[in-house]
């Protein structure tokens, strides 16, 4: 999860029905605000898009049509979150990076761990949700989806770490600048699974010294 700066709802857009919050105008603002990424798993350009209720409308009926409560998510995450995780870290108000570090393990099998950086009341629910999203929620479908998701994260992180190694090994200043820009792009919050890449840098003193300035 990464920090999202959600814009205000432009004047003239009224949300009073389900059709309203699934309208082209609302979707386009959400897509832009959330960098076209699911705010839970961070997959970019998800093929299944859901307008997600941060606090579920099952438990918070009065928030069903509230703009502040509408988030951009993929179907996999929306289904797992359901009405069970109403008190996770609100990435539109807090920076999840201050509270949680992501860790991707690739051996003996792909497995996602979350580490607590700073304590907060929402940490436990957030970490439990992320565990289910990335490692499966007990049903064969969710596990198959989670495995596919982790394959995509592994591919992305392989490219990222290779790019860092290339930058560190390269002596030609022009090529180094090219790698530097690639790394900058990959560490941008807009990038696919940025939270994982940023966590790799955040957890390493050496990488922070080198790339910390790109972690805006
Ligand atoms: Zn997702």
For the stretch 3-35, pLDDT in tens is 999 999 999 999 999 999 999 999 999 999 999
How many CB atoms sit inside 10 A of residue 139's CB?
Answer: 12
Please say whether the beta carbons of 34 and 192 come within 8 A: no
- Ligand 1 centroid – CA 133 distance (Å): 7
pTM: 0.96
Q: What is the mean pLDDT of residues 86-115?
A: 97
Output the CA 44–ligand 1 centroid distance in Å. 9
Question: How far is the centre of ligand 1, averaged over its atoms, from the C-alpha of 136 (Å)?
Answer: 12
Ligand 1 centroid from CA 47, angstroms: 10
CA of 74 from ligand 1 middle (Å) equals 4
Kindly list the protein residues that place their beta carbon closer than 5 angstroms to ligand 1, a single-atom ion: 38, 40-41, 74, 77
pLDDT surpasses 90 at 216: no
Q: Are 122 and 88 in contact (CB under 8 A)?
A: yes
Tell me the per-residue pLDDT of 103-153, one tens digit each, with 9 for 90 and over.
999 999 999 999 999 999 999 999 999 999 999 999 999 999 999 999 999
For residue 205 the two structure tokens come to 């003193």
- Render the burial of 110-125: b for 16+ CB within 10 Å, e for the rest: bebebeebeeeebbeb
Structure tokens at 47: 């093929």
Q: What integer best gives the mean pLDDT of the chain?
A: 97
Whether residue 202 contacts residue 215, with contact meaning beta carbons closer than 8 Å, is answered with: yes
Domain ranges of the chain: 18-214
**For a pLDDT cut of 90, what percent of the chain falls above it?**
100
> Cα of 26 to ligand 1 centre, how many Å?
19
Cα of 11 to ligand 1 centre, how many Å? 29
Q: Report the alpha-carbon distance of residue 158 to residue 161 in Å, rounded.
A: 5
What percentage of the chain exceeds 70 in pLDDT?
A: 100
Return the SS3 of 129: helix
């Amino acid at each position: 999860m990464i920090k999202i700066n959600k814009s205000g709802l432009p004047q003239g857009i009224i949300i009073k029905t389900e059709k309203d919050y699934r309208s082209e105008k609302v979707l386009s603002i959400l897509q832009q605000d959330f960098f076209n990424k699911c705010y839970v798993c961070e997959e970019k350009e998800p093929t299944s898009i859901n307008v997600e209720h941060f606090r579920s409308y099952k438990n918070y009926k009065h928030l069903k049509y509230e703009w502040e409560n509408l988030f951009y998510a993929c179907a996999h995450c929306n289904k797992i979150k359901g009405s069970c995780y109403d008190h996770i870290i609100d990435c539109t108000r807090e920076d999840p990076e201050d509270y949680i570090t992501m860790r991707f393990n690739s051996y003996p099998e792909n497995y996602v761990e979350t580490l607590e950086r700073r304590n907060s009341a929402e940490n436990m629910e957030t970490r439990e949700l992320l565990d289910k999203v990335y490692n499966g929620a007990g049903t064969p479908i969710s596990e198959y989806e989670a495995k596919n998701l982790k394959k995509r994260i592994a591919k992305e992180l392989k490219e990222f770490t290779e790019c860092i190694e290339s930058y560190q090994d390269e002596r030609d200043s022009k090529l180094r600048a090219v790698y530097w820009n690639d790394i900058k792009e990959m560490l941008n919050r807009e990038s696919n699974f940025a939270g994982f890449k940023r966590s790799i840098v955040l957890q390493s003193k050496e990488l922070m010294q080198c790339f910390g300035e790109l972690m805006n």
